[in-house]
Structure 1
């Protein structure tokens, strides 16, 4: 069995923790007089909290690691005699299986819970909304994963120039969105693939040995410079994620701030590799990273459901600080952070129940592929 790469697993675990911790911080479920929960966000009320998204939105690292591991996995598959379509089908099966299982479980469980009076209609609906909202990420990730054979070929031909080309494409779309000429709002979504391909393609270049410390330092410096200019000079929104009610968003659709942040994160992570690997040698840290990696998709699919469940229990007990009350002050933020251990325990319980849908991956999947290696 192939030995796991601690550094790669550590970066992936960090990205997943950022996603979960960020969603738990910026997502609020407020109790209503009707006995339901409605969705709100402290980002709408607390502008000073928005810079926290710079550190919690780590999807750039996730796509970086995805590009690296997919490139390595595809090359190993080719060495085994597996075709590119077979590899793509197997990868998409592994990505889609936990999502499909979670969707089916919620579709079966929520209606009876509502009919039995366990949860209100509003709570049930908002649980579905919270569950579905981040699935855009998995859809984009799946599409880019399917493009891996072509992106690998692009790396051989253009190297790091391909990475810069994706950033340039996002910049061009931003010029359309925010420039003097009015264009349909839907035109902004032309940036979705290039914005996230930036980090993925960078991961592919990293796997082929094109990213050394000099390149990493350039990524960090260039990303920081672009980030500062975009926010302080060009008036891009401060928050990396969408703020309810805001006229502009950096994530829906993604703006140039997304690849700029990904460049910062990738550059810093690569420059700090030795320190990160030393931390990962600690037995307890490595054990936690291993568990998180083995259940990554389950954690992603169920972390909002854990929040909804804990919030509903808190609502029935009475409005508790950080759960059920409006996210309008620093006290709410402190209280929500204090709830993280409870949310983590509930999420761990849910993952333990559903993890069998993520592992083991079936030896035979739709199509001719039959191997279970990454």
Structure 2
């Protein structure tokens, strides 16, 4: 989850998915039983001016970086001096990923990950921005990412921790993970639906800390390292059982999304542009085929074909899917520059990207609160007669109303973390 907010120019007319595999907690119900895994995590630096035709964002705020030469593409030769602008292609992908996460937690659709693997997409976009940010000194970049991610997490955590304390939770030494989530923060069953999404923040945080080393290794032999990045999940699945604890959970999630993170490096460094279309398409389809086959072939073992329950299938399906998305972007230099013509849609995409951490952290609480709120509607005869109170779609709509309220009430924390003037809406 690169939670990055970047300033907007006009261009002249302009992170839950649940824990993987065995680590997934039992599903909980909302209005009625259903499945309850991120951006995308859902947070970090303000825009980094570049001479590239489009800035490649992530879900936090990026700090200014020195001008970098264009990475390629048919419009890479634009003259210097144009205002820095958001890459609306990446922004749109992130917005779709967040909507898909909320929909998955509302309806529990097992097929949702096959249609759009949100977390793989989010990690791929975050890897791209991390590689760009590391054009600056690594300690400064890591410090910036932590500064932009942790305050929104702490603010949200105060509400969740206090609620669990009121409901009988007795914390131990592991409460330190509520300060820096290098491991899964502890909690009780009462608040599980709210805190179990934190696996994404934990995984993102580890990728941020490891990125300086990962980027150096990647640049030694980009394509071989990218291919070999799928090896860890194969080892964990077939040759070594990771311990059933915080360390094991972290290993599984890092192994599952390592390819997507490094794929972001490949996009930023121009590696994808140098590959032949036929080779990329064949390799991507092969990864998709293997991931899909493994999910359905082991459906009886896992009890579902939901990719969030099957790490190996998730890793390969996300690898193939995200490769096609980023290669399409790199090869054709797509930037969705037409999006500003649709002002309301463009505004929505803008808010989603500027408040990605807020949406990710608060969406489960919004869905939880939607249930008792809808229960009150039953007490009004007119509502009972004319509103589809039993429909999960109605709960989905109420959930988004509450998410927008959370954006207005708590989104300013992201501005404070980015050292910007707090705003009601970005």
Is TM-score (shorter-chain normalized) higher than 0.5? Answer: yes
- Residues 133, 112 of structure 1: alpha-carbon distance in 2 compared, 3 angstrom cutoff: closer
Question: Is the contact between residue 292 and residue 313 of structure 2 (CA under 8 Å) also seen in structure 1?
Answer: no
State the structure with bigger RCO (CA 8 A, min sep 6), 1 or 2.
1
Given the alignment, which residue of 269, 274, 283 partners 1:222?
283
- Alignment partners' CA distance in 2, 1:254 and 1:261: 10
Partner of 2:229: 166
- Alignment partners' CA distance in 2, 1:233 and 1:105: 40
Question: Is the contact between residue 284 and residue 321 of structure 2 (CA under 8 Å) also seen in structure 1?
Answer: yes
Paired residue secondary structure (1:50):
coil
- Alignment partners' CA distance in 2, 1:357 and 1:189: 27
- Residues 197, 174 of structure 1: alpha-carbon distance in 2 compared, 3 angstrom cutoff: same
Q: CA deviation at 1:278?
A: 5.2
- Residues 237, 358 of structure 1: alpha-carbon distance in 2 compared, 3 angstrom cutoff: farther
Partner of 1:343: 399
Question: Is the contact between residue 288 and residue 320 of structure 2 (CA under 8 Å) also seen in structure 1?
Answer: no
Paired residue secondary structure (1:133):
helix
Partner of 2:328: 271
Greater helix content: 1
Q: CA deviation at 1:263?
A: 2.2
- Residues 58, 360 of structure 1: alpha-carbon distance in 2 compared, 3 angstrom cutoff: same
Q: Deviations over 1:269-310 (max 9, x none)?
A: 542667771553433322111111110000000001110111
Question: Is the contact between residue 236 and residue 242 of structure 2 (CA under 8 Å) also seen in structure 1?
Answer: no
TM-score scaled by length of structure 2 = 0.62
Q: CA deviation at 1:146?
A: 1.3
Partner of 1:105: 159
Given the alignment, which residue of 291, 295, 311 partners 2:351?
291
Describe how 1:1-374 pairs up with structure 2 within 5 A: 2=49, 3=84, 4-26=86-108, 49-75=109-135, 78=136, 83-108=137-162, 128-176=191-239, 183=241, 186=244, 190-212=251-273, 214=275, 218-232=279-293, 235-237=296-298, 246=303, 250-251=307-308, 254-268=311-325, 270-271=327-328, 277=336, 280-282=339-341, 283-318=343-378, 335-361=391-417, 363=419
- Alignment partners' CA distance in 2, 1:363 and 1:105: 23
- Alignment partners' CA distance in 2, 1:319 and 1:230: 47
- Residues 350, 11 of structure 1: alpha-carbon distance in 2 compared, 3 angstrom cutoff: same
Q: Which segments of 5 or more consecutive residues in structure 2 lack a partner in the other structure?
A: 1-6, 8-48, 50-83, 169-186, 381-387, 421-426
Question: Is the contact between residue 110 and residue 305 of structure 2 (CA under 8 Å) also seen in structure 1?
Answer: no
Question: Is the contact between residue 51 and residue 238 of structure 1 (CA under 8 Å) also seen in structure 2?
Answer: no
Paired residue secondary structure (1:359):
helix
How many residues are paired up? Answer: 306
Q: Deviations over 1:124-179 (max 9, x none)?
A: 966621111111011001100111111221221111221111112222322226xx
TM-score scaled by length of structure 1 = 0.70
